């Protein structure tokens, strides 16, 4: 069926030209012409990108430009376009704004048609009778986001928050005002599509196609909201087509809500990656009334999701199950992928979500200081089998529950739940990030003085909306949360936990002091790739505490914590090259230490979500993939420790054990050889033991190691190697690297050109610990397939480099590195 609804795009892609100019604010003298002479603008877009494209400002990500450009967020901006309109026979004309950022007045032909103050929702303005045959003018005026947030705080009072700006006073992306990894670029603009819709009779206003299962049958419960033009008469027919099944229903004119149930026999179930396939079914929902029709299309996957937090003998678990099957979570937290977020495309989303898939992840948590992402994000997660944990957009702050904020929150939540309810990947709605923890422990109660702080959203409004609009998806009040109001929200024995004393206060060895049921945030910092860092930091000489370096380090005392975080694990660097390599290596080791410990606790522990997958600009941060898309050593470590089958050596009260976690549907039976070896040239085997490892499907075991391999004769000069037949290796060191005796020249390297780049083959003559190749030191766009490879004497490994030409000089430092470089005597 073809829709009779007429749509005219008011976007750059639709052929409509826009301009933007400054209206009021502290525009520097060099840019004062912006008040009189507008520049070209892109819609959808935002003002930073427009000014950058016009050559008015330098790149805000470069050097120390961030602070020089803060005037943009303190300035009010006016977007304007002229367009031609041809009248038609339709009874209603509406301007639909899918996203305005944030405090805006919308004026059509001199008449204000509406105002907004919420980035996270859409708006529909009735302009029937206001459009003119021929030339029309549309102006969208945006108030300064910084000034608006400050004004709203002054009007309503101060609610506690982190960071500089009162982001909790305005419904705008919190991290847009800066975060401990994020640049402060408070944007304004028409950030999602804008269009005119003309229609008569009936149209589809919204659809919630709730796909579920009844044994082997698929059940699609389609909730359809209808809008009717004034005076519309006659019945309408609703038709739902899915999986070869067509279901129809007739409703009277004026009916606003319709529920149509379709049953599909022998449906194929949707599964998260690692548990099955991801079949998706096309759905078409149409409405016809007389000569007028409208249609809505999407894809759904048939599955069930449940959350188990019922108390057990150890406290209270956190288990997500899909189709009745518990899923061990290998996850990462997701932030908006670009600080200038309108530059994100399906291609950039695909690249970043593929980073998660290639690292063996099965869940991304869309964090509450960011956005409800575009359809492209959720579509890709549907296709790739990546579960989505979706936060409602509250983070690290107390929030007023008074009007007008309450109504804005309700409107945005209803729209978000409705829009995302079709996605098979959606596994959890989460009320907030750290706000319940903040109320309990961060000193908020005194300044609040008994005022509301957000509890009404998390405990009453949001769960009610989810239960009403998306009952197939579980709801959690917050993260962390213990699922009991009388238990500390960040209690390791119950529910979800955030571990942030590691990194902020204590050594990463402290991870082993915890026995968490589920870890939904933990992380450790490291710098971006050298090519990424030096593209934006131009200090001479380059130094961790250089002026521009500190612009690109947003964490409080971040570089000092990088230094303290080395502990006894690695020595303090002597050169900038060593600083970069040492801190990247320490980041990767810290997270590996944590994940290996958590997985050794299975089934007590049911998963972990690392902070964080991605960056939104070039910065020193917790990310596994930096702001230029380069996979850091941490990413390669996550790929290993998130693998379906993992071996690690863990200390227990009665000695060392081999911890094996088998997160597959096939039992794991393999021969394991454990060797205690010398770190010296030749890598002499001092003792060896072999045993058969038997691990059931989706299970874990601990195998004790005999003293012959578990006890060192000379702790500083020996290590343990664990190797499973068919794949799987783990190592244990009796001392930290600062005490470990290793050989400095423990390996050689040979380079060979290939059709798409080159190979570097490294051969070890002694223990070569944590080998890493950084081809971006030679060519900034070069990529390498592996990292942090440990070799025993006599072993070889080939690094494959793409997007580069083979070097003509021998490979060595700083391109080829190892821990031996840092610790060899």
505-514, pLDDT tens digit by residue? 999 999 999 9
> Is the pLDDT at 545 greater than 90, yes or no?
yes
The backbone torsions φ and ψ at residue 415, rounded to the nearest 5 degrees and listed phi first, read -65, -45
Longest Cα pair distance anywhere in the chain, in angstroms?
92
Mean pLDDT of the chain: 97
pLDDT tens for 445-468 read 999 999 999 999 999 999 999 999
Least Cα distance to 69 among 87, 54, 47 occurs for: 47
**Residue 157 confidence (pLDDT):** 87
Q: What angle do CA 207, 209, 210 make, to 5 degrees?
A: 135
3-class SS at 633?
helix
What is the C-alpha radius of gyration for the chain, rounded to an integer number of angstroms? Answer: 29
Instruction: Give the integer Cα–Cα distance in Å for 104 and 81.
Output: 15
> Which DSSP string do the residues of 94-154 spell out, in sequence order?
EEEES-EESEEEEEETTEEEEEEEBTTS-EEEE-TTT--SEEEEEEEEE--HHHHHHHHHH
Contact residues for 825 (Cβ-Cβ < 8 A; gap 6+): 741, 744
Buried b (16+ CB within 10 A) or exposed e, 344-358: beeeebbebbebbbe
Tell me the mean pLDDT in the region 106-111.
98
Question: Order of strands across the sheet with 134-142?
Answer: 39-41, 18-24, 76-85, 134-142, 103-108, 111-117
> What is the four-CA torsion angle of 433, 435, 436, 441, rounded to 10 degrees?
120
**Residue 392 confidence (pLDDT):** 98
Count CB neighbours of 729 within 10 A.
Answer: 13
> Is the pLDDT at 346 greater than 80, yes or no?
yes
3-class SS at 531?
helix
- Judging by beta carbons within 10 Å of its beta carbon (0-12, 13-18, 19+), is residue 526 exposed, middle or buried? buried
pLDDT tens for 801-820 read 999 999 988 899 999 999 99
The backbone torsions φ and ψ at residue 550, rounded to the nearest 5 degrees and listed phi first, read -75, -20
Instruction: Give the integer Cα–Cα distance in Å for 675 and 360.
Output: 28
**Residue 156 confidence (pLDDT):** 86
Instruction: Give the integer Cα–Cα distance in Å for 785 and 758.
Output: 11
> Is the pLDDT at 1 greater than 60, yes or no?
no
Answer yes or no: are the C-beta atoms of 246 and 458 closer than 8 Å. no
- Judging by beta carbons within 10 Å of its beta carbon (0-12, 13-18, 19+), is residue 30 exposed, middle or buried? exposed
Q: Give the percent of the chain with pLDDT over 70.
A: 100
Buried b (16+ CB within 10 A) or exposed e, 304-327: bbebebeeeeebbbbbbebbeebb
**Residue 30 confidence (pLDDT):** 86
Cα distances (angstroms) measured from residue 281 to each of 222, 382, 474, 730, 780: 14, 11, 22, 42, 42
Number of helices (H) and strands (E), helices first, in the chain?
18, 44
Answer yes or no: are the C-beta atoms of 49 and 69 closer than 8 Å. no
Which domains can be identified in the chain, with CATH numbers? Answer: 6-197 (2.60.120.260), 201-300 (2.60.40.10), 315-641 (3.20.20.80), 645-733 (2.60.40.10), 747-823 (2.60.40)
**Residue 4 confidence (pLDDT):** 81
Buried b (16+ CB within 10 A) or exposed e, 730-750: bbbbbbbbeebbbbeebbebe
Answer yes or no: are the C-beta atoms of 417 and 423 closer than 8 Å. no
Confidence of residue 141 (pLDDT cuts 50, 70, 90): very high
Tell me the mean pLDDT in the region 247-260.
96
Answer yes or no: are the C-beta atoms of 223 and 210 closer than 8 Å. yes
Confidence of residue 2 (pLDDT cuts 50, 70, 90): low
Instruction: Give the integer Cα–Cα distance in Å for 739 and 251.
Output: 78
pLDDT tens for 480-497 read 999 999 999 999 999 999
Answer yes or no: are the C-beta atoms of 792 and 751 closer than 8 Å. no
pLDDT tens for 653-672 read 999 999 999 999 999 999 99
> Which DSSP string do the residues of 399-450 spell out, in sequence order?
---STTHHHHHHHHHHHHHHHHTT-TTEEEEE--BSHHHHHHHSS-HHHHTT
Asked whether the CA dihedral 665, 670, 675, 681 is positive or negative, the reply is negative
Least Cα distance to 533 among 615, 637, 612 occurs for: 615
pLDDT tens for 722-748 read 999 988 999 999 999 999 999 999 999
Instruction: Give the integer Cα–Cα distance in Å for 486 and 226.
Output: 44
Instruction: Give the integer Cα–Cα distance in Å for 804 and 758.
Output: 7
Answer yes or no: are the C-beta atoms of 519 and 534 closer than 8 Å. no
Tell me the mean pLDDT in the region 537-563.
97
Instruction: Give the integer Cα–Cα distance in Å for 36 and 54.
Output: 15
**Residue 808 confidence (pLDDT):** 87
Cα distances (angstroms) measured from residue 635 to each of 469, 582, 589, 623, 762: 37, 16, 11, 8, 21
Helix (H) or strand (E) holding 636: helix 633-641
**Residue 825 confidence (pLDDT):** 63
CA atoms in the 13 A half-sphere facing the CB of 343: 13
Question: What tokens were used for 184?
Answer: 């402060």
Tell me the mean pLDDT in the region 60-80.
98
**Residue 372 confidence (pLDDT):** 98
Q: Give the percent of the chain with pLDDT over 90.
A: 96
Question: What tokens were used for 237?
Answer: 């027919």
Confidence of residue 29 (pLDDT cuts 50, 70, 90): confident
Confidence of residue 145 (pLDDT cuts 50, 70, 90): very high
Answer yes or no: are the C-beta atoms of 140 and 374 closer than 8 Å. no
């Amino acid at each position: 069926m073809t829709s009779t609804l007429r749509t005219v795009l008011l976007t750059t892609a639709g052929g409509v030209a826009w301009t933007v100019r400054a209206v009021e604010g502290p525009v520097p003298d060099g840019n004062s012409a912006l008040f009189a002479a507008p520049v070209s603008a892109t819609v959808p877009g935002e003002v930073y990108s427009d000014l950058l494209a016009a050559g008015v400002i330098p790149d805000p990500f470069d050097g120390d430009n961030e602070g020089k450009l803060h005037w943009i967020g303190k300035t009010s901006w006016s977007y304007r376009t002229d367009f031609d309109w041809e009248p038609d026979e339709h009874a209603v004309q509406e301007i639909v704004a899918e996203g305005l950022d944030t405090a805006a007045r919308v004026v059509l032909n001199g008449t204000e048609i509406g105002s907004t103050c919420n980035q996270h929702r859409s708006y529909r303005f009735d302009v029937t009778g206001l459009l003119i045959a021929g030339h029309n003018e549309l102006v969208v005026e945006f108030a300064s986001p910084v000034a608006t947030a400050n004004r709203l705080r002054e009007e309503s009072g101060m609610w506690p928050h982190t960071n500089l700006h009162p982001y909790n006073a305005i419904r705008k992306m919190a991290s847009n005002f800066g975060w401990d990894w994020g640049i402060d670029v408070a944007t304004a603009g028409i950030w999602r599509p804008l269009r005119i819709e003309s229609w008569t009779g009936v149209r589809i206003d919204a659809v919630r196609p709730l796909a579920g299962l009844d044994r082997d049958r698929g059940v699609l419960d389609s909730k359809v909201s209808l809008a009717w033009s004034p005076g519309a008469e006659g019945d309408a027919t609703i038709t739902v087509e899915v999986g070869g099944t067509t279901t129809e229903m007739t409703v009277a004119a004026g009916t606003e809500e319709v529920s149509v149930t379709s049953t599909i026999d022998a449906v194929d179930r949707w599964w998260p990656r690692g548990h099955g396939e991801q079949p998706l079914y096309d759905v078409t929902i149409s409405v016809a009334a007389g000569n007028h029709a409208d249609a809505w299309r999407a894809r759904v996957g048939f599955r069930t999701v449940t959350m188990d937090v019922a108390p057990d003998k150890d406290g209270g678990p956190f288990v997500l199950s899909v189709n009745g099957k518990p899923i061990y979570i290998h996850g990462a937290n997701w932030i908006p992928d670009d600080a200038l977020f309108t530059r994100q495309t399906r291609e950039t989303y695909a690249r970043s979500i593929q980073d998660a898939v290639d690292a063996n992840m099965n869940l991304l948590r869309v964090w509450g200081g960011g956005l409800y992402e575009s359809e492209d994000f959720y579509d890709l997660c549907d296709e790739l089998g990546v579960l989505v944990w979706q936060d409602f957009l509250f983070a690290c702050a107390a929030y007023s529950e008074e009007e007008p904020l309450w109504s804005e929150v309700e409107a945005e939540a209803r729209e978000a739940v409705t829009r995302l309810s079709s996605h098979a990947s959606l596994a959890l709605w989460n009320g907030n990030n750290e706000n319940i923890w903040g109320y309990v422990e961060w000193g908020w109660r005194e300044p609040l003085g008994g005022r509301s702080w957000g509890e009404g959203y998390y405990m009453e409004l949001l769960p009610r909306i989810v239960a009403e609009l998306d009952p197939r998806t579980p709801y959690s009040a917050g993260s962390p949360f213990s699922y009991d109001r009388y238990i500390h929200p960040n209690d390791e024995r119950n529910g979800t936990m955030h571990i942030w004393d590691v990194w902020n206060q204590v050594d990463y060895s402290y991870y082993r002091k915890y026995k968490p049921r589920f870890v939904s945030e933990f992380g450790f910092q490291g710098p971006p790739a050298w090519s990424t860092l030096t593209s934006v930091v131009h200090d001479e000489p380059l130094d961790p505490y250089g002026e521009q370096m500190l612009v690109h380090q947003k964490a409080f005392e971040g570089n000092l914590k990088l230094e303290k975080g080395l502990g006894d694990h690695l020595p303090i660097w002597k050169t900038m090259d060593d600083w970069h390599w040492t801190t990247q290596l320490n980041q990767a080791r810290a997270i590996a230490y944590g994940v290996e410990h958590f997985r050794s606790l299975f089934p007590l522990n049911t998963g972990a979500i690392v902070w964080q997958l991605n960056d939104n600009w070039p910065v020193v941060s917790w990310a596994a993939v930096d702001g230029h898309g380069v996979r850091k050593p941490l990413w390669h470590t996550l790929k290993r420790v998130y693998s379906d089958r993992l071996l690690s050596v863990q200390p227990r009260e009665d000695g060392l054990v081999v911890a094996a976690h088998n997160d597959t549907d096939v039992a794991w039976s393999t021969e394991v050889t454990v060797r205690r070896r010398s770190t010296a040239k030749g890598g002499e085997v001092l003792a060896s033991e072999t045993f058969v490892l038997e691990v059931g499907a989706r299970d874990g075991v601990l195998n004790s190691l005999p003293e012959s391999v578990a006890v060192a004769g000379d702790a500083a000069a020996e290590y343990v190697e664990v190797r499973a037949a068919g794949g799987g290796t783990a190592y244990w060191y009796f001392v930290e690297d600062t005490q470990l005796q290793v050989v400095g020249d423990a390996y050689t390297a040979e380079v060979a050109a290939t059709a798409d780049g080159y190979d570097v083959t490294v051969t070890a003559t002694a223990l070569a610990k944590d080998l890493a190749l950084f081809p971006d030191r030679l060519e900034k766009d070069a990529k390498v397939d592996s990292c942090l490879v440990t070799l025993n004497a006599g072993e070889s490994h080939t690094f494959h480099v793409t997007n580069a030409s083979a070097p003509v000089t021998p490979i060595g430092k700083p391109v080829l590195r190892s821990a031996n470089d840092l610790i060899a005597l």
